[in-house]
Amino acid sequence: MDRNGIEELLSRVRERPAEQVVKFCQVVHLPAREGKPERFLVNLLTKSYSIDLSTGEARDVVAEKAVDEKTTRLILKYLTYQGHVKGKAGWVGIEKLPGGQQLTGDLHKRAYRPLIESFGYEPQLFETACKLLDGVKEKLGGISYSFSFFPQFKILVQLWPGDRKTYTSPVTNLMFSDNVIETFNARDLVDASEILVSHLVKYKSRPAVKPRA
């Protein structure tokens, strides 16, 4: 794993009182015991990850596999969240963050384009995938769903479906709960968007789970 920046983030997390991290980030703290290192359990979308505070390694709890450096970095950054900003203004676009304007092309390539290619003309498949990923429907224009990327940070995905009969092209948009500003930079939000979209695309062909009678 590329350790660039990981050790610094890990040190910042170690320096924080565990009860503060639990309170602000809504995670679970597991003290070191019986030969196992001190860890935090963190929910990211519908998955749970453990982060080892002795090594900085993040693992998928169910798959029991180490995750990539991009996901590890996001988890560690999340654990530095101070809880100061409460999301008073609602949603912000990536262009509102320093350097965000320069990354809009990257966001289009890594998130908008896959969304449109997978769901641009398939609104029902989009809604099904959003529901399978525990998305919450919002009344914010188009087909809008919000997702708890981390317990305290949300991403909003909006789709205005295209129509081949009327030659209408699909349009999509991503926004972020405004409490991301203190913790994440624009590059982090591109990474998080890519992860979210990749999960939605994986759910595209999965059948919807029918509610029990």
Tens of pLDDT, residues 130-187: 999 999 999 999 999 999 999 999 999 999 999 999 999 999 999 999 988 889 999 9
**91-203 maps to CATH 3.30.310:** yes
Sign of the CA dihedral 161, 162, 168, 172?
Answer: positive
DSSP run (H or E) holding 24: helix 18-25
Residue intervals in the chain for CATH 3.30.310 = 91-203
The pTM for the full model equals 0.89
Which pLDDT value is given to residue 181?
85
User: Which DSSP state fits 109?
Assistant: I
pLDDT tens figures, 49-90:
999 999 999 999 998 999 999 999 999 999 999 886 554 558
pLDDT tens figures, 106-126:
999 999 999 999 999 999 999
Question: How does the average pLDDT of the chain come out, rounded?
Answer: 90
Report whether 129 contacts 147 (CB < 8 A). no
The rounded distance, in Å, linking the Cα atoms of 112 and 21 is 33
Report whether 60 contacts 43 (CB < 8 A). no
Please calculate the CA angle 175-180-184 and round it to the nearest 5 degrees: 110
Structure tokens at 195: 């992860």
Letter string b/e over residues 147-171, b meaning 16 or more CB atoms within 10 A of that residue's CB: bbbbebbbbbbbbbbbeeeeeeebe
Helix (H, G, I), strand (E, B) or coil at 50: strand
**Residue 206 binned pLDDT confidence (cut-offs 50, 70, 90):** low
